[in-house]
Structure formats: structure tokens, C-alpha cells
Chains A and B, each alone.
Chain A
Amino acid sequence: MYQYTDFDRDFLAERNAQFRAQVERRIDGSLTEDEFKPLRLMNGVYLQLHAYMLRVAIPYGTLNSAQMRQLALLAEKWDKGYGHFTTRQNIQYNWPQLRDIPDMLDALAEVGLHAIQTSGNTIRNVTADHFAGAVGDEIADPRPVAELIRQWSTDHPEFQFLGRKFKIAVTGAEHDRAVTRAHDIGLRMVRRHGQPGYEVIVGGGLGRTPMIGKVIREFLSQEDLLPYLESVLAVYNQLGRRDNKYKARIKITVHENGIEKIRELVEAEFPARRARFNGIDQVLLAKFEAAFANPEFRTASSDVYDVAHGSDPVFRAWADTNLFAHKAPGYSIVSISLKAHGKTPGDATAEQMRVMADLAEQYGHDELRISHEQNVILPHVHKSDLPALHATLKKHGLATANIGLISDIIACPGMDYCALATARSIPIAQEIATRFDELKLEHDVGPLKIKISGCINACGHHHVGHIGILGLDRAGVENYQITLGGDGTEDATIGERAGPGFSAEEIVPAIERLVLGYLDLRDNREETFLDAYRRLGAAPFKAALYPEARADAA
């Protein structure tokens, strides 16, 4: 992992001291709220419905055990004993008090974490494949370049006042687990003539106007990356609209001007930008690559695993659902579900964070990841350690065997916390998970991604859920719209709206009808919900959702 240098530590210490002084000046009345707000947002501090919220970046979703323990400390000391992991590989604290936030930031700095640019119209936390460095289908680990982008974008003077926020995601793998096509810029590592480089995707995004990103450059060599990113940002900074917040994201700039024009402008900008890079970025990149080198994997017998898998059905269910193939023989990638049935998606208590930190230290080469699907990953665990690891997870409510299943729901905080929300998300997720647990159907239903957002800003990625749920305020009542057939992978697709929305009481039964309808419609057990939807189209699924309409038509 990347270790902070003296420069990083000094920079962060100075920045935190500045913010501490800004908070003091706000409290003593020297700064108005209008003056203070952009300053607090630059440091990840929001004012939500019931309290302040601090959003801490977990760059490319990677943590070591010391960092995870520090996140637990913050939860305990300055919050209500838990934290919420988000779809952008951040953690949010829902209850800090304004006076305490500078202390929280100092505590984060002790372990090389910060909240810089987790809000505001800047380049946000760079996200990456949560299986980075552990999967076999990878050209290279995307985290060194993600770290390069983090350092380049942090406090970049030209990009502190963009027209709107700007999100970058990177993947090194064939299978896209980083939703790169729904980001302002998505980078996919590719090879050409044996040379590694990037496919650059621009103008993706969800929110009010969902768009799948378009390829602006099929192949960009490694050393051209930062000047090319600067060129894209510079073009967006000049051309992007500032007259209307809802038309300010680069997806609209690309949509209104056309990808060809944007490409021409970027290429025109590029030579001058390229000339200013003297190669120091590549020296840094090489250092980061060394820092992110894989740990030394051990060779050991997996007999213990085989015995447990053969004899313990609870372990077997968990192993079959929550493990993913690792590139090293004898190893597994472990997904720890933060989606226990009936609990809040993405929440972990301080105790659970410490347990996961301990497990990472003991069994996982000291590495943890946060996925955009709001789960925690131990990327490198030897199979022989899995029975012991599972036993510990079980003791702490962390052994739910539901990764990729119907109860592994993404949900934004919604109107339980968020000032922007138009309806609640969390209770809907809790009820769906609880209902399908009661029905004992979820393993039979198989892979199915439900994603819930509490407003059109789509933090819950509902557009790319196989089933998406969007909570709205319809004449003063919570109302939930369903979209079908969305996909956030390399085959990225925006889901299609199914029809009229449902009330809070009707939405869970509606999802149940839809899923039971799928079970009747599928060809065989191997055909997933999404496959069946793609084969049959929306009509039979809508018929399951709206039986009255079918009766009316008959």
C-alpha cells in the first residue's frame, strides 16, 4: 500500500490546521455561513437533516488494519458508534458536532486518511475495482494509477472551481466492477501491441439525466494519462455550463456538443499540456507500483477448507456465495456482507470495524477494501484460514451469505439522513431483505442487484440496478418508481422505467410479485433475472408488477 511521505503529512497537517481556524472563525462569528459553507464542503462536512455529516475518502477503497481501527475510533469517540460505507468508497459519519470535526480530521491524518474533496465542485475520491490486485482477469492493479490521480487532483489549482463535481473510476480488469461507464471519466486498462494503456470513457453519470459514458480515446499510453486528463478537465472547465446546476456535469457537455467535438477540443489542448509534464509523474507511478506490489502469497494445504466445506452447511453456503476466485493458488477473495437481513446497508459498528481490522491483520495480509456495493472485502485470504475467519465473522453479525443476491442491496442514506432526499431508502432495503429472508428464496432467485436511491441524484445507482428503486415525493407522500434491466458492468445499461410508482406500503409486495414472476419466466435455474429480462423484454415483468393492468386489458 501507499505510505504517506513527509510531504503528504505536512500538507495534510497544514490543511487541517487551516480548517480548524476556519471552524473557529465560523463559531466566533467572523465567517458567515455563506462564507463558511464552501470551506466546509471542501473538507467533506455537510449539514444534513438531523446533524452534520463528515464524509471521509477511502481512496480506491483500500484500507489497512490501522486505518480501519481509526475509523472505528472516530465512530466511537465522536459519533454514535457506527459508520456508513457509501457507493463511492467513502465512509460517512452521521452525527458529529461542528467543534469536534477538526479533531476527527487530525485523528484521520494520523493514519493517512482525509476528507479533502469528498464534496464540492472538485475532482472527488478516485474509485477503483474492489478486487484490484487479487483477480486473474486483470491487466494490472489499477490502484497505483488511482493514487497518481489522487495526488494530481488533490488541491489541483486549476480544478478547484469546476462547474460541478467530477468523478473518476479506474479498473484494470476485463469485468468492470467499478461502474466506469457511469463516471465523468472512466478508465479501463487495456493493452495494445503488448503495451499497457487506457481506454478513456467520458461523460457517463447517473442522476437526473442518466448517461452511459462514451469512448473518447480507445488507447492512451500510460505516460500520456495525466496531461490527457488535464486536457479533458480543461475543456470541461471552459465549455461546461454554469448557468444551470442540473446541466453542469460533463455528461451534458458531451451530450450537447457531441463526443466528436469534445474529442477535437481535447486533442487540441493536449500537446501544450503534454509538454509541461517532464516525466516526474512516471517516476512516481513506478514508486506506487512498487508500493502496491502483491504480498508474498504462501503455499499451504487447503484440507481444512475442504473438510469444513464438506461438513458444515452454514460455512458452505457462505463460502459458495461470498468467496471469489483469487489469482494465487489456494487463496480466496472474501466479501464480508454489510447487508445482514433487516440491517442498514453499508453500516458497520465500531466493534465490527475492529473485528474486520483484526481479521485483515491475522489472515489477510493487512488489507481491506470497501466496495461500491457497500461491503468490505478481504482481498487475500488463504483458504486454510477461511473456517476460522468465518467463525469470527459469525460471532459479530458479519457472516451473512448474500453477496450478489437480492438482499445485497445498495441503498443511499435517503431521507433518514440526507437533506437532498425526497423519500427514504433504508427502510425499503430493510423490508425487502427481511421479506426474502422469510421466504427463504434468495439463493433460489440467484444473482440479482437491487439498488435504491432516495432522490434523482441517484447515489444508490438505481439506474444500473437489475431492479432499480427511486424514492420520490408525490404530492407530499413517499412514492417509489421501479426501473428494470439496468446494468453497471462492462455491458452498462440504464434501466427502463416500469410504470407508475408505488407507495411505501406497496413497494415491497410489488418487488415480491416481480421476483416471483421472474421465477416463473426463467428458462432454467441458470438464467439470471437480468438474462431473462434481456431475453423476454419488459412486458412480462410489467405484467407481474401491475396485475390490475393485465386484468383491465383482458
Chain B
Amino acid sequence: MARPFTPKVVTANALLEGDVIYQTADDRWSRALSEAEVLRDEALAKQRLDFAAQQAGEVVGAYLAEVKIGANGPEPTHFREEFRLTGPSNYFHGKQAETAS
């Protein structure tokens, strides 16, 4: 039996800034995971990923990242996605600094 499909978001890096971005339901790219469109259906996820891949002028390296649903919407399930969402642990740089300001 195929494994059940777990919720995903489409994530990538922005072409110009290189930072982490997430695809929203209204076809924007957001810096906030909380705004990401949560994809619960495999066929739809593939379709949304294809759509992201077509936006080569804006994004690089789009892929599907697994999420779980928490109090503020989607949250990472893997530590790599947690770090992408936060920034490095040795300096207060990256997303953690942007959210704070």
C-alpha cells in the first residue's frame, strides 16, 4: 500500500536575494511559512510545484517540504526546514533577525 500523503508546502530560494520563500495559495511568494499554501493532495502538490518551477525569473530550486499543522499554521517536520525557517545558530542573522525587526 502506498504511504498516505503528508501535508506539504512549496518552498524555494528567491532568485535575487537567495533567501527562503514559500508559495501562497494566491500565487505569491512569501518570506513567512505561516502564509504558505498547505497542500494535502498529491496531485495538487505536483501541479503547484510545476507551477513554481515555471517561475524561473523569481525563484530557484523549488521543492515540496513536509509540514505539520500547528497553532500558527504549517510548521516544519524536519530540522533542515526548521533551520531554513530560522537562520543560522551561530549569529542572529537570516529570517530570525528579519522577523524580529
Binding site for B on A (CB under 8 A): 26-27, 29, 32-33, 47-52, 80, 94-99, 344, 347, 415-417, 424, 426-427, 430, 473, 476-478
Contact = CB atoms under 8 A, between A and B. Distances in A.
A32 B91 CA distance: 33
Nearest to B94: A50
Contacts, number: 73
B85 to A, nearest CB: 10
Q: How large is the interface on B (under 10, 10 to 19, 20 to 34, 35 or more residues)?
A: 20 to 34
Contact of A426 (B20, B57, B89): B89
Contacts of B15: 26-27, 98
A91 B34 CA distance: 35
A477 B78 CA distance: 8
A27 B56 contact: no
Contact of B16 (A33, A95, A98, A347): A98
B26 interface: no
B93 A476 contact: no
Given A33-B56, A50-B18, A415 B90 contact: no
Given A33-B56, A415-B80, A50 B16 contact: no
Contacts of A27: 15-16, 57
Contacts of A415: 79-80, 83
> By CB atoms of chain B within 10 A, which of A344, A415, A430 has the most?
A415
A427 B83 CA distance: 13
Contacts of B7: none
A52 B18 contact: yes
Given A415-B80, A415-B83, A51 B90 contact: no
A344 B90 contact: yes
A370 to B, nearest CB: 20
Contact of A427 (B18, B84, B89): B89
Contacts of A99: 16
Contacts of A48: 18
Nearest to B95: A50
Closest 7 CB pairs of A and B: A416-B88, A52-B18, A51-B18, A50-B94, A344-B90, A426-B90, A29-B57
Interface string B1-20: 00000000000010111111
Nearest to B58: A29
Given A32-B56, A96-B18, 19 more contacts: A27-B57, A33-B60, A47-B60, A48-B18, A49-B20, A49-B80, A49-B83, A50-B19, A50-B20, A50-B93, A50-B95, A80-B91, A415-B79, A415-B83, A416-B83, A416-B89, A424-B83, A424-B89, A427-B89
